[in-house]
Structure 1
Amino acid sequence: MTALVLEMRRLAAVRLDRAWLAVAAILLALALLAPAQATESLRFTIEALIGVAPWLALSVGVAAYAAASGADNLIGRAFQGRQAPMILTAALFGGLSPFCSCGVIPLIAALLAMGVPLAPVMAFWLASPVMDPAMFALTTGALGFEFALAKALAAVGLGLMGGFGVMALSRGGWLADPLRPGVGDGGCGGAKVRNPRPPVWAFWREDARVEKFRREALKSALFLGKWLTLAFLLESLMLAYVPAEAVAGLVGGEGLAPIALATLAGVPAYLNGYAAIPLVSGLIEQGMAPGAGLAFMVAGGVSSIPAAVAVWALARREVFALYLGFAFAGSLLAGVLFQLAQ
């Protein structure tokens, strides 16, 4: 039996997680309480998944290629040299790296424990969860290239704001010890920085890397599939039961208030970057201001509750406060600028 078949069985056994259970619970409740809506929601979800399938395939391919080729090892280069160029490089790498807001935590712990200045680390920390190549492809498919580009620029801009802001604050000796006592070096996360290896772009020449590509493609497909299924299902309910005029009244129209409200709502209401894409698409169709949609996605990606808990456990309180402050201010600014550009 091949390793891929074993991996499929292992993944199938553990994928009955909260996302799939939520999908099953919602469909069961609809079948009992609103059979007609259950059929409509199921149809909507299937058609939406078929519509996004080309972008999903592209996303899976990009993520698997990055893992198989070892492209993530390039991250170590972002933290070498003088501090200002480090901040710029870290923000750019953060906007392109395939790390989520929680997955980046071990790497951050490694960087800080190894003595890398907080400023470039903060730049990477803030930019990384907002956008990656796979998310860019899915965002383009659901919300258009302009929105995806704006989100990528917001990721880099947020990283630059946080990095240079921390650098200015650190000049007086403040923030010299950002980690909580007893935090380790990040384990395997630090290996990518301590011992960076050159990527193997033509990974198909090595059987082990081809096998890794297959495993990562399957893993990504299952991960994205479950969240997109849940998100499209929730979108169908939102379109059915949430009046468009209510959405437009809260987060639509002109001015700063809708964008600020969306920025604040991004923290508790966020699922993850992939699940947010169809939800925001549905909200914009109902009247949500595009700038508010961008602010919601950027703020939620950086400071969702799971990520915030992880940061709280890792960093001292003043670093945690800066992290949230830069996340809110940068998301709000990104939303305002995008709205002005419409």
Structure 2
Amino acid sequence: MTDTALATPGLRATLRHLWRDQRVWLASAAILAALAVFDTPQAAESALFAGNALLKTAPFLILSIAIAAWAGATGADNLIAKAFTGAPLLMIGLGALAGGLSPFCSCGVIPLIAALLAMGVPLSAVMAFWLASPIMDPSMFVLTTGVLDLEFAVAKTVAAIGLGVFGGTVVHLMMKGGAFADPLRDGIGNGGCGGAKIRAPKPVVWRFWADADRRAKFGKTALSTTLFLAKWLTLAFILESLMLAWIPAETVTATLGGEGLLPILTATLVGVPAYLNGYAALPLVGGLLDQGMAPGAGMAFLVAGGVTSIPAAMAVWALARPQVFAVYIGLSLTGAFASGLLFQLWTSMA
């Protein structure tokens, strides 16, 4: 009886842990199973869409996973964490600039975000990078220039960096008041243990493959990060495929037409559920602009949708605690509306 009583809490804890690990996979499987019963063609299309999306983002994911695992195995995370000490406002600016110019998509940058937070890097600097990254990257800049124009591409880049600086500064002020002491969810990491790396840095071992323990740490980190990303991105891409299939583009077009402040506000709010992806959204906005939509509304839609798209938002939800997620969404919407308003004022004076 005693053995059973002692084993039961451990068994329950194990079952809870397994449930937390598998519930995202189960959700994806349940959606595909339901589609297979009620809409068989869509089930095949959603599965194919998710597979293709994962393959498309694979190069970025592999690179970022490798960097995160390498940093932990070599001890280079000590150097990275140390680089983010002091001058928080400078780090916010650099984080926003890096996010606005980096080639990482919102999904590919997630392992780096988790690693930086686990190292003890302040959430303010990480948030600046996090907010700016989904909005613009080099390939997006080129495509935006081609589909819309150079002025819009430059303005969108400025909006990305500006949103990063704004969000990072707000989080910095909140942290000074005692908020976000532990931003990551349980089991992913926390700033506390990372803080020890800054206070008592250990030597870096660049040739980590010569040490069995460090090789094992590299493999374990890479595997756990890969599985974590795979389950969340699979669900995100399945949901995105359903949005593409079930939300007609004409509906979005009709909602975002018009001029004045109301279309900018509407575009900011509609951008959250209606945003398809960065590349699909550009021709949609181009068509709306040709039909007379205010440029500011187009900018607000692209900024709000980019930061709060399903893959980006689900990645934040998977990594961060609910209060961090809420601030992320609030900053995204506020910054998107401000970006649209400022761009509207700029174009009206030009």
TM-score (norm 1): 0.60
User: Are 1:310 and 2:311 counterparts?
Assistant: no
The aligned runs of 1:36-185 (5 Å cut-off) are: 79=84, 81-184=86-189
How far does the alpha carbon of each residue in 1:232-251 deviate from its partner, in whole angstroms, 9 at most, with x for none? x99xx95xxx49xx947x43
The aligned runs of 1:15-34 (5 Å cut-off) are: 18=46
CA distance in 2, matches of 1:252, 1:184: 44
Q: State the shift of 1:152 in Å.
A: 0.2
Q: State the shift of 1:306 in Å.
A: 2.4
Q: State the shift of 1:79 in Å.
A: 3.9
1:98 aligns to what SS in structure 2? Answer: coil
Q: Which 4+ residue blocks in structure 1 deviate beyond 3 angstroms?
A: 16-22, 76-81
The aligned runs of 1:221-232 (5 Å cut-off) are: none
Counterpart position of 2:335:
330
CA distance in 2, matches of 1:81, 1:133: 30
User: Are 1:321 and 2:323 counterparts?
Assistant: no
Contact 1:95/1:155, CA 8 A, preserved across alignment: yes
CA distance in 1, matches of 2:322, 2:289: 36
Q: State the shift of 1:284 in Å.
A: 1.2
CA distance in 2, matches of 1:178, 1:114: 12
How far does the alpha carbon of each residue in 1:31-73 deviate from its partner, in whole angstroms, 9 at most, with x for none? xxxxxxxxxxxxxxxxxxxxxxxxxxxxxxxx99xx8xxxxx9
The sequence identity of aligned pairs, in percent, is 62
How far does the alpha carbon of each residue in 1:135-162 deviate from its partner, in whole angstroms, 9 at most, with x for none? 1011001100000011000000100010
Gaps of 5+ in 2: 1-43, 51-58, 64-70, 72-79, 191-201, 207-240
Q: State the shift of 1:340 in Å.
A: 1.1
Q: State the shift of 1:107 in Å.
A: 1.1
CA distance in 2, matches of 1:125, 1:341: 26
More relative contact order, 1 or 2 (CA 8 Å, 6+ apart): 1
| Equivalent position amino acid for 1:291 in 2 | G
How far does the alpha carbon of each residue in 1:186-245 deviate from its partner, in whole angstroms, 9 at most, with x for none? xxxxxxxx98x9xxxxxxxxxxxxxxxxxxxxxxxxxxxxxxxx9xx99xx95xxx49xx
| Equivalent position amino acid for 1:288 in 2 | M
| Equivalent position amino acid for 1:85 in 2 | L
Alpha-carbon RMSD: 3.5
1:296 aligns to what SS in structure 2? Answer: helix
The aligned runs of 1:290-305 (5 Å cut-off) are: 290-305=295-310
Structure number, greater radius of gyration: 2
Counterpart position of 2:287:
282
How far does the alpha carbon of each residue in 1:73-105 deviate from its partner, in whole angstroms, 9 at most, with x for none? 9xx698465211000000001000112222221
TM-score (norm 2): 0.59
